[in-house]
Amino acid sequence: MTPWRGLLHEYADWLDLRGVTDVVTLLEGNTPLIHAPRLSELVKADVWLKLEGLNPTGSFKDRGMTMAITKAKSAGATTVVCGSTGNTSAAAAAFAARAGMSCVVLVPQGKVALGKLAQAIVYGAEVIQIRGNFDRALTMARELTQHLPITIVNSINPDRIEGQKTGAFEVVDALGDAPDILSIPVGNAGNISAYWRGFTQYHFAGVSSILPKMWGFQAAGAAPIVLGHRVDEPETIATAIRIGNPASWVPALEAVDESHGAIRAVTDDELLAAYSFLARNESVFCEPASAASVAGLIKFGVPAGSRVVCVLTGNGLKDPDTAVSQSVTPVVIEATMDDLLRHLQ
Ligand code: AN7
């Protein structure tokens, strides 16, 4: 077996690699698709989990970033920028460092999970916290490209979506066909659009016999697509998807319409219940936003016996504050066997 060479090499025949001279990769992709026996039993379906938290920077963003940074570098760019709720900035910082490029990230002050902020800083990006939310950060990142010679690597950059569609390829490659339902958290709505592109591309090339229904889930406090209007002050514990005006709103709706899917909302309580369920029952520690895909299945149910893939977009270690604050604080005892036995009895 030849070792995994990263997405741009492995899926070269399926990607638009025009103009690419030098591939920037951290050997992203090839993430596990694991069966979820307890969740399957709970929802009476055959549920699988795509562990995107096992990418090099701990989220699915690496798929789009290998492509975006590769293309930017090939085009001669030396600096990239993104607005981010955290994961995009971690991935941009890492791939930019690998490419020898500078990276500027704009993040909402106080609303980025600690691990993600740490990543962007340690990878050497210029991290700027703004007194505003993600939507404002994205607007500023876009505007910055008018003032400085800098390439934007948010998902409004088409190279991002092109790279992220490989998630769908891997699902089909692992299962031997597309699932009946693909369940996925929705924030800026790039990933649901990217998966749909991947599934349709494979299907029309004859690789899969079916197309999945695309089920997207937003956090109830940040659910513009569900509500049908922009949310000016989005709020949710799942800071990754604390987004009120998704850039890929239109393609996401197309994916849902064409696939006969839906975008619905789950509350923070529902999402946190799914987050704990996954950790305790499937030994999968994802970040809160990722659990929206599972919370949605539990809340709305699925047709009996269907095959479902939930995309768990990011690693639970990214957000230690939520993990700890949502759990019982570990007890402290004297360092004696008496105390230990007393506590355990
Ligand atoms: C873990 O990092 O928007 O619907 O700036 O980090 O494609 O936006 C992150 C989004 C889901 C939503 N799960 O995906 C960012 C950012 C996790 C995420 C989403 C994000 P999109």
pLDDT tens digits, one per residue of 312-321: 999 999 999 9
Average pLDDT over residues 65-82: 98
Average pLDDT over residues 21-36: 97
pLDDT one-digit tens code per residue, 264-304 = 999 999 999 999 999 999 999 999 999 999 999 999 999 99
Atom of ligand 1 nearest to the CA of 116: 2
Look-up of token digits 């849902």: 256
Atom of ligand 1 nearest to the CA of 286: 1
pLDDT at residue 8 in the model: 98
pLDDT at residue 1 in the model: 79
d(Cα 21, Cα 8) in Å, to the nearest integer? 12
> Ligand 1 — pocket residues by CB below 6 A?
59, 61, 84-88, 155, 185-191, 240-241, 287, 289-290, 313-314
Cα 203 to its chain centre, rounded Å, is 23
User: Taking each helix axis from N to C terminus, what angle separates 87-99 and 61-74, rounded to the nearest 10 degrees?
Assistant: 40
Asked if 49 contacts 310 with a C-beta cutoff of 8 angstroms, the reply is yes
Average pLDDT over residues 320-344: 95
The pTM for the full model equals: 0.97
Distance from Cα 227 to the centre of ligand 1, integer Å? 19
Asked if 218 contacts 256 with a C-beta cutoff of 8 angstroms, the reply is no
Residue from 62, 191, 275 whose mutation best tests the ligand 1 pocket (most atoms within 8 A of CB): 191
Q: Find, among 130, 111, 9, the residue nearest to 70 by Cα.
A: 9
Distance from Cα 238 to the centre of ligand 1, integer Å? 10
Average pLDDT over residues 138-167: 98
Distance from Cα 341 to the centre of ligand 1, integer Å? 45
Of all residues in the chain, the percent with pLDDT exceeding 70 is 100
- Residue 326 pLDDT greater than 90, yes or no: no
Distance from Cα 206 to the centre of ligand 1, integer Å? 30
Residue from 52, 55, 57, 59 whose mutation best tests the ligand 1 pocket (most atoms within 8 A of CB): 59
* Mean pLDDT for the chain overall: 98
Contacts of 91 (CB under 8 A, 6+ apart): 57, 59, 61, 62, 64, 65
Could you give the C-alpha distances from 51 to 48, 217, 343, in angstroms and in order? 10, 17, 36
Asked if 94 contacts 57 with a C-beta cutoff of 8 angstroms, the reply is yes
Distance from Cα 55 to the centre of ligand 1, integer Å? 14
Contacts of 250 (CB under 8 A, 6+ apart): none
Atom of ligand 1 nearest to the CA of 52: 1
pLDDT at residue 328 in the model: 85
Cα 154 to its chain centre, rounded Å, is 13
Residue from 119, 154, 241, 275 whose mutation best tests the ligand 1 pocket (most atoms within 8 A of CB): 241
Average pLDDT over residues 85-114: 98
The structure tokens listed for 48 are: 């699988």
Contacts of 269 (CB under 8 A, 6+ apart): none
- Residue 168 pLDDT greater than 90, yes or no: yes
- Protein residue with its CA nearest to atom 8 in ligand 1: 188
Average pLDDT over residues 29-54: 98
Look-up of token digits 């105390």: 339
d(Cα 234, Cα 31) in Å, to the nearest integer? 31
- Protein residue with its CA nearest to atom 14 in ligand 1: 187
Cross-strand bridge partners of residue 83: 106
pLDDT one-digit tens code per residue, 218-271 = 999 999 999 999 999 999 999 999 999 999 999 999 999 999 999 999 999 999
- Residue 20 pLDDT greater than 90, yes or no: yes
Distance from Cα 210 to the centre of ligand 1, integer Å? 27
Asked if 138 contacts 190 with a C-beta cutoff of 8 angstroms, the reply is no
Distance from Cα 132 to the centre of ligand 1, integer Å? 17
Distance from Cα 331 to the centre of ligand 1, integer Å? 35
Q: Tell me 215's DSSP state.
A: E
Region for residue 58 given its phi and psi (left: phi exceeds 0; alpha: psi -120 to 50; beta: otherwise)? left
Cα 322 to its chain centre, rounded Å, is 17
DSSP per-residue codes, 201-219: HHHHTTS-S--PEEEEEEE
